[in-house]
Amino acid sequence: MSVKVESLQAWQRQVEKNLSREMDAFVVSQGARSDGEIAIQNDFFAALNLSDFKVSAIGSRHLERDE
């Protein structure tokens, strides 16, 4: 089984980002989505369930527990 590894040059990534931004602007201009909906769609952390996330320590200092 071989694994396909892809890498992008900086200019390729910039072209990809610009196309994505242009598509987002077009979708908003057509009224298909709002700016807020596009922001949520493009949010890096959207796939994470942060509602259960709690900080238990900062460095070696443990924080108080909520019990």
DSSP calls for 50-64:
GGG----EETTEEPP
Task: Decide if 16 contacts 24 (C-beta within 8 A).
Answer: no
Summarize pLDDT for 33-48 with one digit per residue, the tens: 999 999 988 888 877 8
pTM flag (> 0.75)? no
66 confidence band (pLDDT: 50, 70, 90)? low
pLDDT at 65 over 70: no
22 confidence band (pLDDT: 50, 70, 90)? very high
Summarize pLDDT for 3-19 with one digit per residue, the tens: 777 777 888 989 999 99
